[in-house]
Amino acid sequence: MIASKNILVTGGAGFIGSHLVKHLVAKYPEYTVFNLDALRYSGNLENLKEVKDQKNYRFLHIDITDLDRLKEVFARHSFDFIIHLAAESHVDRSIKEPFIFSHVNILGTQNLLHLAKDQWGTNADKRFYHISTDEVFGSLEETGKFNEKTPYDPRSPYSASKASSDHLVRAYFHTYGLPIVISNCSNNYGPNQFPEKLIPLFINNILNNKPLPVYGTGENIRDWLFVQDHVQAIDCILHQGKIGETYCIGGNNEWTNIALIKELCAQMDKKLQRNNGASEKLIQFVSDRAGHDFRYAIDSSKIQNDLGWTPTHTFEQGLSKTIDWYLANSAWLQNVTTGKYQQYYAEMYNSK
């Protein structure tokens, strides 16, 4: 029998967090899942409508930079696991608004670490699990892959803030004995991703016959992973990962941006019954992203060998599922690009 546990998930109203919360609520009825989220622009309770009335789900509308409110939460509840996802997550936004990234991603993480330390001491039955990114490792040339031993070399304000938070998590392990674990994952895609990231932005633009802004030459490479595969990896690491360890998670699925965009355009043409090539005509090559990392690729052998995790979705299947979701949820897309989101969207994308 599985013991009852209190799990605090931060950032559970966002893209990855909402898939994780739904997974945990459904798979572990013995656990109570507390979703702590400030509902910033990418956080959306619509993403959680399936679980909102479940007995083992609670929502806490709190900002991780608000230490006083966090103290109240930790005074009221004892947590067994903390899975920390809340963050500012978009590289382009970090180039425009770097300070908020340091504030939320570094200070917010330290607030949680400190309260976990005060609540748990060195209790090895507990886990502080930090969800991090492969971007902390910097940029690869044509060959090689990132693994758990790759030195850190972050190059955007986003990745620098995530690298700083990883360092703080390890500092709390080494200094205070806090039971931590970290994973660094590659690019996720899937339903409910805010349409600022490449795939949902381009789906939305194709639907609205708007230009598809490809940065630079389009030859930059990313390693794409379907969000449900990431969620399965998080579940494995939460339950089987070793305290103090890091796990790299990737899709073994490298695409140049331009090849991915052409695949997306072809699938969109078919699904929208447009002429073959209609969506590709929307492609526009634009100025490159400042400091644009050339290539990311992950060697996932450690999690595969030690914990038995492996991704199950092929990219073509995952992309098809993703497009189908956006087509079936046009109201969601409409809601997150209008109303209170309109100004954010206009500021970020007035040149796109």
Task: Cite the active site residues.
Answer: 134-135, 158
Q: How far is the CB of 292 from ligand DAU (least distance, A)?
A: 6
Among 46, 63, 153, 269, binds ligand NAD (CB under 6 A): 63
Give the type of residue at 144: G
Per rule CB under 6 A, is residue 90 in the interface with ligand DAU?
yes
Cβ closer to ligand DAU: 114 or 230?
230
CB atoms within 10 A of CB 317: 11
β-pair type (246-249, 180-185): parallel
Query: For residues 214 and 198, what is the distance between their CA atoms, to the nearest angstrom?
Result: 9
User: Do the Cβ atoms of 65 and 89 come closer than 8 Å?
Assistant: no
Query: Which tokens hold the place of 239?
Result: 């339950």
Among 164, 188, 204, 322, binds ligand NAD (CB under 6 A): 188
Query: Which tokens hold the place of 325?
Result: 């979701």
Please name the residue ranges forming H helices in the chain. Answer: 15-27, 67-76, 91-96, 98-101, 109-120, 157-176, 198-207, 227-240, 257-271, 301-307, 315-328, 330-337, 342-349
Query: For residues 258 and 271, what is the distance between their CA atoms, to the nearest angstrom?
Result: 20
Per rule CB under 6 A, is residue 187 in the interface with ligand DAU?
yes
| Interface positions, 32-51, toward ligand NAD (CB under 6 A) | 37-40, 42-43
Cβ closer to ligand DAU: 56 or 94?
94
Q: How far is the CB of 83 from ligand DAU (least distance, A)?
A: 16
| Interface positions, 110-169, toward ligand DAU (CB under 6 A) | 133-135
Per rule CB under 6 A, is residue 203 in the interface with ligand NAD?
no
Q: Which residue of the chain is nearest ligand DAU when measured via CB? A: 133
Instruction: Compose the 89-128 pattern: x for residues touching ligand NAD by CB under 6 A, - for all others.
Output: x--------------x---x--------------------
Q: How far is the CB of 72 from ligand NAD (least distance, A)?
A: 15
Q: Determine the interface stretch with ligand DAU among 3-11, 98-106, 143-151, 196-204 (rule: CB under 6 A).
A: 196-204
Per rule CB under 6 A, is residue 289 in the interface with ligand DAU?
yes
Among 133, 164, 204, 246, binds ligand NAD (CB under 6 A): 133
CB atoms within 10 A of CB 3: 8
Nearest-Å Rg of the Cα atoms of the chain is: 20
Q: Which residues contact 281 (CB under 8 A, 6 or more apart)?
A: none
Cβ closer to ligand DAU: 90 or 126?
90
DSSP states along 242-270: PTT-EEEE--S-EEEHHHHHHHHHHHHHH
Query: For residues 207 and 203, what is the distance between their CA atoms, to the nearest angstrom?
Result: 6
Return residues touching ligand NAD (CB under 6 A): 11, 13-17, 37-40, 42-43, 63-65, 85-89, 104, 108, 131, 133, 162, 185, 187-188, 194
* Interface positions with ligand DAU (CB under 6 A): 89-92, 133-135, 186-187, 197-198, 201, 213-215, 220, 222, 257, 289, 296
